[in-house]
Amino acid sequence: MEPKVLVMDEPSSGLDPRARRRLIDLLEGFEHTRLVATHDLDLAATLCERTIVLGRGRVLADRPTTDVFRDDALLEAGGLERPLGMLACPVCGAATARADA
């Protein structure tokens, strides 16, 4: 079987960190379209070039993932928070690799 589109609903739900990393590695190698419904924003930030944010049954945004996670008003409207991988270290304040992206 060689699908051209892979549709996934919460693919990282219930996975331990090692299995989650294996899933990401597998999906990064998938050459075709991936449609991912997820609340795992770090997964979306890692895998998705484009993100559609839904809220109250409507599309709030459809744009590049990096733009979505830089828009504080959109995140607030969608009830979302910036992915942990994009936040500065809470101890020293140093930016993570993706926080600089």
Q: What is the CATH number of the domain that holds 90?
A: 3.40.50.300
How many domains, the chain?
1
Tokens of residue 101, six digits: 């992206």
Q: State yes or no: pLDDT of 99 exceeds 60.
A: no
Strands (E) located in 45-101: 50-55, 58-64
Domain that holds residue 26: 5-100
Q: State yes or no: pLDDT of 23 exceeds 80.
A: yes
The full length of the chain comes to 101
Roughly how many angstroms between the first and final C-alpha of the chain, as a whole number? 36
Mean pLDDT of 20-41: 93
Q: Name the residue among 50, 32, 47, 39 with its Cα closest to residue 80.
A: 39
